[in-house]
Amino acid sequence: MSASSSSPFTLRHRSSECRARCGEVATLHGRFRTPVFMPVGTQATVKAVTPENLMDLGAEIILGNTYHLFIRPGHELIKQFGGLHNFMNWQRPILTDSGGFQIFSLRDLAKITEESAEFRSHLNGNRLFLSPEDAVEVQEALGSDIMMVLDTCIPWPATREETIEATALTGRWAARSKKALTGTGQLLFGIVQGGMFPDLRQFAAEELVDIGFDGYALGGLSVGEPKEQMYDMTEATVRHLPEDHPVYLMGVGTPEDLVEGVYQGVDMFDCVMPTRNARNGMLFTSEGRLVIKNSCYRDDQRPPDTCCGCYTCRNYSRAYLRHLFMSREILAYQLNSIHNLHYYCSLMADMRKAIEQDKFISFRNTFHSRRANPPEQN
pLDDT in tens, 95-130: 999 888 877 776 776 789 999 998 888 888 888 899
- Rounded to whole angstroms, what are the CA distances from 251 to 1, 108, 137, 153? 27, 21, 23, 12
The H-or-E segment that residue 56 falls in is helix 51-57
Contact indicator for 8, 28 with CB cutoff of 8 Å:
no
* CA neighbours closer than 13 Å in the CB half-sphere of residue 226: 3
- Rounded to whole angstroms, what are the CA distances from 227 to 67, 252, 274, 317? 28, 11, 19, 34
pLDDT confidence of residue 355: 98
Residues 6+ apart with CB under 8 A from 78: 44, 69, 84, 87, 141, 142, 143
- Rounded to whole angstroms, what are the CA distances from 335 to 219, 272, 298, 307, 313? 31, 16, 17, 17, 9
Contact indicator for 349, 280 with CB cutoff of 8 Å:
no
Q: Which residue, 312, 364, 376, is CA-closest to 343?
A: 312
- Rounded to whole angstroms, what are the CA distances from 158 to 1, 53, 133, 162? 30, 41, 27, 6
CA distance 106 to 249: 21
- Rounded to whole angstroms, what are the CA distances from 374 to 131, 175, 318, 341? 46, 47, 15, 19
In the structure, what pLDDT confidence band is assigned to residue 2 with cuts at 50, 70 and 90?
A: very low
| pLDDT > 90? residue 175 | yes
Cβ count within 10 A of residue 245: 24
Contact indicator for 5, 236 with CB cutoff of 8 Å:
no
146-148/127-130 β-pairing: unpaired
CA distance 322 to 296: 10
In the structure, what pLDDT confidence band is assigned to residue 333 with cuts at 50, 70 and 90?
A: very high
| pLDDT > 70? residue 375 | no
pLDDT mean over 39-68: 97
CA distance 297 to 293: 7
CA distance 42 to 66: 8
The catalytically annotated residue of 145, 257, 270, 305 is 270
**SS3 state of residue 38:** strand
CA distance 180 to 233: 30
- For residue 285, the cross-strand partners are 288
244 is catalytic: no
pLDDT mean over 46-51: 98
pLDDT mean over 137-144: 98
pLDDT confidence of residue 3: 44
Q: Which residue, 340, 300, 354, is CA-closest to 323?
A: 300
Q: DSSP code of 150?
A: -
pTM: 0.96
Q: DSSP code of 240?
A: T
CATH 3.20.20.105 residue ranges for the chain: 9-271
CA distance 55 to 89: 12
> Backbone phi, then psi, for 253, in 5-degree steps?
175, -135
Q: In what order do the strands lie in the sheet with 21-27?
A: 9-14, 21-27, 30-34
Range with the poorest average pLDDT among 53-57, 65-69, 73-77, 358-362: 65-69
CATH code of the region 9-271: 3.20.20.105
In the structure, what pLDDT confidence band is assigned to residue 373 with cuts at 50, 70 and 90?
A: low
**SS3 state of residue 360:** helix
The catalytically annotated residue of 97, 151, 214, 257 is 97
Burial class (CB in 10 A: 0-12, 13-18, 19+), 293: middle
CA distance 65 to 104: 14
97 is catalytic: yes
Structure confidence by residue, pLDDT tens digits, 122-131: 888 888 899 9
In the structure, what pLDDT confidence band is assigned to residue 285 with cuts at 50, 70 and 90?
A: very high
pLDDT confidence of residue 190: 98
